[in-house]
Amino acid sequence: MPAVELRLAQGTPCWVSLLTHDLPGARAFYGELLGWTYSPGPAQLGVYVRAELDGAPVAGLGVSTATGFPVQWTTYFAVDDADRTAQLVRECGGTVAVGPLQAERAGRMAIVADVSGAVFGLWQGEEHLGRETGVEPGGPAWAELLTPDADGAASFYATVLDRPVRPTDGESALFVQGRPVAGIRHHADLRGHPPRWRTHFAVRDAALAARRTVELGGRILVDPHDTAHGRAARLADPQGGHFSVLEAAA
């Protein structure tokens, strides 16, 4: 797939970032599972590296310094103005936890949460526009919100990101330039977990990726199964960070 050369349109999931308590372990795990190599990233929030596929950045990994904070992936959405969008988050009943702040010359970012508490990021790209690959093995493939209030979430994201949310494939989806870019799914039983954005990475074979996850010290949370977006599996890395894999189209 060709590299991204222009800033992604507002509302497009443009980046995913992991905060972990064991950065060397996470680097080794995802490097083996997804074929990533690494380069240094902005250091405003601590030690941080960018994961790359064939030299193109696809994700970020950083060190979590918060006591008791769970290891988790955060989905970032491209925005034209991080400060204005953060203010809209507040006006729509969400919260702003970090920023907006400048990430060196890479861009401007904020960490926020919607009205139900699901955490996500805002990214106003400058020198770093976000991921630079299409949907290919090893890269982000899909973002999906699990929430007990899908209708409220649909209204929130449509307003904050200024993009329509429409029903599709048994759930709702955020649309950018006529195509679905992220799902919003009603989930009444979150089994003690807060509402959250789930990160999916593309793989050639979901069953193989699940087996390899276990070999590398991770866990299978949900066995490979068919979904509206393809065959998927829910997994956890050795530090407890949850993610999913989704078979990339041939």
Comparison of pLDDT for 116 and 130, the residue scoring more:
116
Share of the chain above pLDDT 70, in %: 89
Query: Can you list the domains of the chain with their CATH numbers?
Result: 13-125 (3.10.180.10), 140-247 (3.10.180.10)
95: Cα within 13 Å, side-chain hemisphere: 8
**Mean pLDDT for all residues in the chain:** 89
pLDDT band for position 242 (50/70/90)? very high
Over residues 138-164, mean pLDDT: 95
Inform me whether the pLDDT recorded for 53 exceeds 80.
yes
Q: Which residues contact 174 (CB under 8 A, 6 or more apart)?
A: 11, 157, 158, 161, 163, 164, 165, 180, 181, 182, 183, 184
Q: N- to C-terminal Cα distance for the chain?
A: 13
- What per-residue confidence (pLDDT) applies to 106? 81
DSSP 62-95: EE--STTPPPEEEEEEE-S-HHHHHHHHHHTT-E
Distance, in Å, from the CA atom of 208 to the CA atom of 200, rounded to the nearest integer, reads: 15
- What per-residue confidence (pLDDT) applies to 5? 47
- Report how far apart, in Å, the C-alpha atoms of 18 and of each of 21, 27, 231 are: 10, 10, 23
Distance, in Å, from the CA atom of 107 to the CA atom of 241, rounded to the nearest integer, reads: 26
- Supply 139's token pair: 């890269």
188 SS3 class? coil
Q: Highest mean pLDDT: which of 26-30, 121-125, 132-136?
A: 26-30
Span of 42-46, 107-111, 148-152, 199-203 with lowest mean pLDDT: 42-46
Comparison of pLDDT for 123 and 45, the residue scoring more:
123
Share of the chain above pLDDT 90, in %: 71
- What per-residue confidence (pLDDT) applies to 37? 96
Q: Are 147 and 186 in contact (CB under 8 A)?
A: yes
Span of 36-50, 103-117, 174-188 with lowest mean pLDDT: 36-50
221 SS3 class? strand
Inform me whether the pLDDT recorded for 224 exceeds 60.
yes
- Supply 203's token pair: 């793989």
Q: pTM of the entire structure?
A: 0.91
pLDDT band for position 62 (50/70/90)? very high
- What per-residue confidence (pLDDT) applies to 14? 93
- Strands of the 196-203 sheet, one edge to the other: 165-168, 171-176, 179-186, 140-147, 196-203, 242-247, 230-236, 219-227
Instruction: Pick the closest to residue 249 from 229, 233, 235 (CA basis).
Output: 229
pLDDT band for position 4 (50/70/90)? very low
Over residues 148-163, mean pLDDT: 95
- Find the helix or strand (DSSP H, E) in which 207 lies: helix 206-215
- What per-residue confidence (pLDDT) applies to 190? 57
Comparison of pLDDT for 106 and 250, the residue scoring more:
106
Instruction: Pick the closest to residue 130 from 244, 16, 19 (CA basis).
Output: 16
- What per-residue confidence (pLDDT) applies to 1? 36
Distance, in Å, from the CA atom of 118 to the CA atom of 148, rounded to the nearest integer, reads: 11
Q: Are 119 and 111 in contact (CB under 8 A)?
A: yes
pLDDT band for position 171 (50/70/90)? confident
Longest dimension (CA), the chain: 46
